[in-house]
């Protein structure tokens, strides 16, 4: 029997899936979870200066349900190196690489029950349609 808090967290996630989620594909290098509902989270831009190259790097968080991270029948925690693929409006694909934050892991639990996970990524590349 689900507790009141568990039911409330799932209700919030269901509402967000209807209004704020987009479908992404998560790849672990071998397998993929397609049409996964993910809520775009916090994003930021970071400037860098490497010798003769200057630019910015976009970091982006995705909020997903931990119960949706099932690869070939096995539930898994996010791992550094996974990829999140988002199809853009023009058909191109934005590929985000899962990264660990300095001094921590590549995801945070967003609620006290561990129902929702915030996966930390950075924009790795844009692929043609």
The set of residues, in sequence order, having a beta carbon less than 8 Å from that of 101 and lying 6+ positions away, is 120
Give the C-alpha distances (Å, rounded to integers) separating 37 from 3, 23, 24, 80, 127: 24, 5, 7, 20, 21
Q: What is the four-CA torsion angle of 22, 59, 47, 51, rounded to 10 degrees?
A: -120
The set of residues, in sequence order, having a beta carbon less than 8 Å from that of 95 and lying 6+ positions away, is 83, 84, 85, 123, 124, 125, 126, 127
Q: What is the DSSP string of 61-87?
A: EEEEEGGG-EETTEE----TT-EEEEE
pLDDT tier at 59, thresholds 50, 70, 90:
confident
Helix (H, G, I), strand (E, B) or coil at 14: helix
Q: How far apart are CA 87 and CA 92, in angstroms?
A: 6
Q: In this prediction, what percent of the chain has a pLDDT beyond 90?
A: 53
pTM: 0.82
- Quick: pLDDT tens for 77-115: 999 999 999 999 999 999 999 999 788 999 999 888 888
- Quick: pLDDT tens for 14-38: 887 788 899 999 999 999 999 999 9
Delimit the domains of the chain by residue range: 4-127
Q: How far apart are CA 123 and CA 88, in angstroms?
A: 13
């Amino acid at each position: 029997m689900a507790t009141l808090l568990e039911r409330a967290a799932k209700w919030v996630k269901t509402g967000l899936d209807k209004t704020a989620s987009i479908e992404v594909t998560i790849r672990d290098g071998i397998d993929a979870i397609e049409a996964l509902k993910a809520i775009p989270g916090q994003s930021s831009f970071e400037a860098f200066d490497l010798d003769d190259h200057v630019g910015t790097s976009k970091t982006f968080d995705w909020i997903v349900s931990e119960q949706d991270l099932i690869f070939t029948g096995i539930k898994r925690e996010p791992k550094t190196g996974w990829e999140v693929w988002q199809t853009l409006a023009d058909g191109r694909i934005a590929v985000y690489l899962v990264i660990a934050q300095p001094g921590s892991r590549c995801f945070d639990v967003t609620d006290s029950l561990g129902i929702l996970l915030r996966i930390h990524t950075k924009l790795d590349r844009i692929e043609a349609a």
